[in-house]
Amino acid sequence: MNLHPNTQAVRIQTSRTNEQEHSTPLFLTSSFCFENAEEMKAAFAEENDNNIYTRFSNPTVQEFIDKICALEGAEAGFATASGMSAIFGTFMAFLNSGDHLLSCSSVFGSTHTIITKYFKRWNIEYSYGDIRYPETWEALIKPNTKMIYVETPTNPGLDIVDMEWLGKLAAKHNIILVVDNCFATPVLQKPAEYGAHLVLHSATKWLDGQGRVLGGVVVGQADLIRELYLFCRNTGPALSPFNAWVLSKSLETLDVRIQRHCDNAEALVKALEGHPKLNWIKYPFHPSHPMYDIARKQMTRGGGLVTFDLKGGVDSGIRFMNALQMLSLTSNLGDSRSIASHPASTTHSKLSAEEKDAVGITPGLIRISVGLEHSGDIINDILQALEKS
């Protein structure tokens, strides 16, 4: 029976045990037993698919991976302890000393730190491309460019990369294309359809959706996942089976949740249009977004993140945050509860004015992760905080 990916996210599960449980079991074990020495020998020789050690594989973790593969349309995958371990593992599995990485300049802060601070320890070069000027990217490719890495939409600027164009560019130069699909999720876009070789997520965000556990996952071409697996099984960024169980259950409601997040985000954008305290609003599916046409081409909806710029700059941003009565002030996103953040005074406060401008962070930028509450309550809290900003 050919099932829709959303159905597979509900129905894929570990084989039932003798207890005939309906909900998927949790294999909370560090290792696995064998009937005899010959079976154990064959497992270590990879002559069978037996589990050996949870750092290598685990049925509960594999269930989560299988669901993400179905949703993303990928051949294989590997799950990690966090989104950053998925990113770091991907870099280290494929980049050698002397290689070059081409990345979009707007990346998550810890990703930026790995690239700019730690790559030089291993003699790995990098270049940052501005996705607002895609015509400049091909000139940044070098003979030793091994990987192109992008987020789309980006964090926190919500810029959009044209994945069809980028997939063709990577194919032309025989470069591995890696897409961080955390912000959109496979419900809203599938990078593999546009030529991405590997797709990764911080499962901590929308995939969990309730701010409970950490997790990361990389899916894509089977031969590349094999290389990633060999690196990670030896270096140890394994996903906890308990976290995998939570995440697998979360995927059963992913589509339903994402649709509600989008509904609420659209309602918020409509309520904020023309507000006198704002310079602008940014949302991928709003016609004012500079990459609106690209977003409509490759995304099914605009997602659950909205940004806007306060006219009063940093001081107004701090006043706005302090005036919120319901929204949470936290560094996470993709939660059932709406979250506000002010990057200029927190996550990106150490960047120079030039660096902030390069990644679209203005002094008054506010990022809202729109939750699942009643849309009227979200809107009312933000409007009252704007009046006090």
Residue range(s) occupied by CATH 3.40.640.10 in the chain: 5-251
Using CB atoms within 10 Å of the CB of residue 126, give its burial: 0 to 12 exposed, 13 to 18 middle, 19+ buried: buried
For residue 131, the model assigns a pLDDT of 86
User: What percent of the chain stands above pLDDT 90?
Assistant: 90
Give the integer Cα–Cα distance in Å for 123 and 296.
39
Q: DSSP secondary structure string, 221-232?
A: -HHHHHHHHHHH
- List the structure tokens of 180: 């961080």
Is 227 a residue whose pLDDT tops 90? yes
Q: What are phi and psi of 308, to 5 degrees?
A: -150, 160
For β-strands 145-151 and 278-282, DSSP reports them as unpaired
**Mean pLDDT over all residues of the chain?**
95
Q: Which CATH architecture has domain 254-387?
A: Alpha-Beta Complex (3.90)
How confident is the model at residue 147, as a pLDDT?
98
Give the side-chain half-sphere CA count within 13 A for 291: 22
For residue range 149-188, list pLDDT tens digits in order.
999 999 888 999 999 999 999 999 999 999 999 999 999 9
Task: Please state, in angstroms and as integers, the Cα–Cα distance from residue 109 to each residue in 96, 179, 206, 214, following that order.
Answer: 23, 16, 18, 17
- Per residue in 212-225, pLDDT (tens digit) is 999 999 999 999 99
From CA 131, how far away is CA 128, in angstroms rounded? 9
Total-model pTM: 0.95
User: Which pair of tokens denotes residue 204?
Assistant: 């901590």
Residue 220 in 3-state DSSP? strand
- Dump pLDDT digits (tens) for 98-125: 999 999 998 988 999 999 999 999 999 9
Report which residue type is found at 214: L
At 341, the pLDDT band (50, 70, 90 cuts) reads very high
Rounded to whole angstroms, what are the CA distances from 246 to 17, 109, 249? 19, 26, 5
Q: Is the pLDDT of residue 345 over 90?
A: no
User: Which residues contact residue 368 at a Cβ distance below 8 angstroms, ignoring those fewer than 6 apart?
Assistant: 268, 305, 306, 307, 308, 327, 338, 339, 340, 382
Minimal CA–CA distance to 176: which of 198, 219, 147, 145?
147
- What are the C-alpha distances in Å from 268 to residues 180, 211, 271, 273, 348? 26, 22, 5, 9, 25
Phi-psi group of 225: left, alpha or beta (phi > 0 → left; psi -120 to 50 → alpha; rest → beta):
alpha
Please tell me the number of Cα atoms within 13 Å of 190 on its side-chain side: 13
Q: Which residues of 80-112 are buried (b: 16+ CB within 10 A; e: fewer)?
A: bbbbbbbbbbbbbbbbeeebbbbbbbbbbeebb
* Digit-coded pLDDT (tens) for 240-292: 999 999 999 999 999 999 999 999 999 999 999 999 999 999 999 999 999 99
pLDDT at 322 over 90: yes
Q: Where in the chain is the domain with CATH 3.90.1150.10?
A: 254-387
Residue 350 pLDDT level (bands cut at 50, 70, 90): low
Nearest to 373 by CA among 341, 305, 323, 326: 326
**CATH placement of domain 5-251:** 3.40.640.10
In the prediction, which pLDDT does 348 show?
67
